[in-house]
Structure 1
Amino acid sequence: MMLKLFTDTSFLTEQYRSKLFPLLFELVFKENESLMQCYKIVDDIKSAHIVVLPIDYSTFYSTSRKAFTELNTIARAHHKTIWTFTAGDYGFTTHIPNMYTFRSGGFDSKLNNKTFILPAFINDPYNSFLKQGFSPLKKQTKPSIGFVGHAKSGILKYLKEYMNFLKFKFERTFKNKLADKQSFYPSSVKRAKYLREIAQNKNLNTQFVLRNKYRAGLNSKLTQTETSKVFYENIYENAYTFCLRGVGNFSVRFYETLAVGRIPVVINTDCRFPLDHKVDWFKHCLIIDKNSKKPVSQHILEFHNSLTDNQFEAMQVSNRNMWLNTLNKEAFFLEIYELFKSELK
């Protein structure tokens, strides 16, 4: 049976393509056959199981307050479950009854049990940037850890990031920007500090390429392709990749590492991971509490030494398979379908 979705179809247009609820994008623009066997958009709310806000919550609210209010009102009048998508680095916590929120990140201790974390939906790197097929790396005595990305220390960088934070705070306070409040977190400075400590440990093989700006400040399609190739080759060549949150409390690199079939080293800054009701994330990556007094390098060595050769390779295979079968867009929303099948009764 199909899960029937009701939404404001006037927003399912090219104009709002980049803002669409990801599932609606797959149904409307991609016409994803697997998902269309499980979900159907209907024009009668009485027959619908779920009401879906068509575009990003903040955009919907600010673009057409009337349409936003009408859809929420009719959903409540018919006692329907509501799904909303909140985009951006910060995301926005809603308090509308019977609403489930899909978002990229947020702080686990502050999110309710009706909040689902969306994986970063990326293309398969083996189809785009890696010519070789997937195969797990053999375990070496010295673990190898890689990183390519934005990481820079120094007072000027710290001040620049703080100014960007103040800009966000001003917009949230005085321009009514719908985004959750959060404390200042100088992510690139933090990354540089962690990576410096890891690089100093001679029992680790490190392969770090540190950028002063996101994507090295390169904007052309050709240069972005080149930097992406370097990025993914670094993940492929190293068993472990260091993953720390950015402006928002999530890491896209985390999902990119899983897609390649390698092992993320995650600094847990009160993160919530996707489908945590089903996935035991400690079986797929090294998760280090941000308050740990032990050096990150020591965590890596202890974790690496705790794995047998077979376990080490099996984890890489498991990570690749999990991305293929659970974390890409199609697979993720098939998992969500399984969770909400009770609505069909």
Structure 2
Amino acid sequence: MTFYFPKRHYDKSFRGQTFPLLKPFLKGEDFSDEERKAMYSISKEDVAFVDVLEASDVAILTMSWNYYVKTKQQSKALQFIKATQRLNITTWVVLLDDVGIDFPDFPHVKLFRQSGYRSRVPKWHIGLPVFISDPLKVQYNKGTIFERPYTKNPTIGFCGFATSKVVLAIKTKFKIGLKNLSYYLKLSSQEPEAIMAAALWRHSILKRMENHQGLITNFIYRAKYRAGSQNETQRATSTAEFFNNIKDSDYVVCVRGAGNFSVRLYETLAMGRIPVFVNTDCILPYTEAIDWKQHVVWVESYEVHKIGAIVYEFHKALSEDNFVQLQQRNRCLWENKLQLKGLL
């Protein structure tokens, strides 16, 4: 499979809005392929780029649709998409950020996105993993997981922004309501969001789990995102605490944040742990190839009142070998499917 992308579209000042597959290949000339493999787990030998659009199997819009909207360059993006449509070339576009933006319907486009609501979007909107660095290598200089032995009472972990502050919840809901109103008044193209205070909801879910006698909880409640870190030292400390919390737990609670997706889901899998995934109509990646319910404790949003019992019964049904094997399978899933090469 060969890929083409319009290099003139690349904007280094908005590098975070680059289509993820392109980022490892839009580096300085002195950036070696060994460095690329170490940083992105992908090599120039894995991807074939061509310089002529007509010679490609897949065309990629270089920057995210969010970028073109923000910089008022939609016409530039649409010109490229219409050109690929005339040539009948499958075209990949990405939506990034916590909240989606309206995108026109093109029959030849696959729109990749991490956030959004599965029931509200067409099938050609495809789930995209959150691509992360390998936490085992970065945090622990290790290539294999820390295996956890089976115990009767499992340890459930969580470290993150979860607070019972009602005033903050009201402010959050009010802001979301205003943004939604702007959309309905056609003042904004940002997709409407569920009016909810994610940090408060997380807090209530964790408290429910603490009340279940069969679970050992390992929760670190943060009053602010990333513990309010202000500098590199503080960020390093909060990051180490975050991953140590995952390492020292059997299961990890993965609930949406500001956007309707969970980065923690991928961090948990990469660490070889079992996510307790609360589904809020999420758009998960590769659902045709991955049976997600074989890798996570699946909890629908309307089931959170019994989340403790669901986790406990799931754990009780596992044998000692099954428990360890699931840890290994989750790490393998992340390595083989949820890194950049999984797009190919």
Q: TM-score, normalised by structure 2?
A: 0.89
Separation in structure 2 between the aligned mates of residue 15 and residue 158 of structure 1, nearest angstrom? 34
In 1, distance between residues paired with 2:236 and 2:112?
29
On the 8 A contact 1:130/1:229 being kept in 2, the answer is: no
> Equivalents in 2 of 1:293, 1:214: separation in Å?
23
Q: Matches of 1:77 and 1:160 in 2, distance apart?
A: 47
Do residues 50 (structure 1) and 61 (structure 2) align? no
CA drift at 1:38 = 4.3
Tell me which residue corresponds to 2:109.
Answer: 99
| Aligned residue identity for 1:75 | T
Q: Which amino acid aligns with 2:332?
A: N
* Structure 1 pair 62–13 and aligned structure 2 pair: CA distance change class (3 A): closer
Instruction: Establish whether residue 16 from structure 1 lines up as the match of residue 14 from structure 2.
Output: yes
Query: After the TM superposition, which of the residue ranges 17-26 and 30-39 deviates more from structure 2?
Result: 30-39
Residue in 2 aligned with 1:342?
A: none
With 36-45 and 108-117 compared, the bigger mean Cα shift is at: 36-45
Map of 2:127 onto structure 1:
117
Of 253, 275, 297, the match for 1:286 = 297
Corresponding residue for residue 73 of structure 1: 82
Give the drift of 1:169.
3.1
Instruction: Report what 2:96 is aligned to.
Output: 87
C-alpha separation in 1, matches of 2:309 and 2:211 = 11
Match of 2:22, as an amino acid? L
Tell whether the 8 Å contact from 1:58 to 1:178 is kept in structure 2 after alignment. no
Q: CA RMSD in A?
A: 2.1
What is the CA–CA distance in structure 2 between the aligned matches of 1:196 and 1:62, rounded to whole Å? Answer: 39
> Could you tell me the percent identity over the aligned residues?
26
- Note if contact 1:84-1:100 (Cα within 8 Å) is conserved in structure 2: yes
Which residue of 1 is the match for residue 314 of structure 2? 303
Counterpart of 1:84 in structure 2: which amino acid? Answer: V
Distance (Å, rounded) in 2 between the aligned partners of 1:57 and 1:115: 13
Q: Is the 8 A contact 1:147 1:241 kept in 2?
A: yes
CA distance in 2, matches of 1:69, 1:131: 44
Mapped contact 2:2–2:58 kept (Cα < 8 A)? yes
Return 5+ residue gaps in structure 2 as ranges: none
- Report what 1:341 is aligned to: none
2:238 maps to 1:195: no
Q: Which residue identity lines up with residue 289 of structure 2 in the other structure?
A: K
What is the CA distance between 1:259 and its match in structure 2? 0.8
2:67 aligns with 59
What TM-score does the superposition give when structure 1 sets the normalisation length?
Answer: 0.89
Shift of residue 166 of structure 1? 3.5
Structure 2: distance between partners of 1:327 and 1:208? 26
Residue 26 of structure 2 aligns with which residue? Answer: 28
In 2, distance between residues paired with 1:14 and 1:272?
A: 29
Aligned letter for 1:67? K
User: Residues of 1 paired with 2:74 and 2:168: CA distance?
Assistant: 39
Q: Is 2:239 the partner of 1:241?
A: no
1:174 to partner: Cα distance: 6.6
Q: Structure 1's 196 and 305: CA in aligned 2 closer, same or farther, altered over 3 A? A: same
Task: Give the C-alpha shift of residue 287 in structure 1.
Answer: 0.5
Corresponding residue for residue 154 of structure 1: 165
Alignment partner of 1:145 is 2:143: no
Partners of 1:35 and 1:102 in 2: CA distance: 22
- Aligned-partner SS, 1:23: coil
Q: Distance in 2 between matches of 1:173 and 1:35?
A: 44
Partner of 1:39: 47
Equivalences, count:
331
Structure 1 residue 266 displacement after superposition: 0.9
Q: Residue type of the partner of 1:51?
A: A
Further displaced range: 16-25 or 43-52: 43-52
Q: Deviations 1:12-50 (Å, cap 9, x if unpaired)?
A: 242332211011112322765755334333332221222
CA distance in 2, matches of 1:55, 1:175: 24
Q: Which amino acid aligns with 2:277?
A: V
Deviation at 1:96, TM superposition (A): 2.2
Q: Is the 8 A contact 1:130 1:233 kept in 2?
A: no
- The answer to whether structure 1 residue 261 and structure 2 residue 272 are counterparts is yes
Aligned residue for 2:21, secondary structure, equals: helix
Shift of 1:236: 0.5
Tell me the secondary structure at the aligned position of residue 77 of structure 2: helix
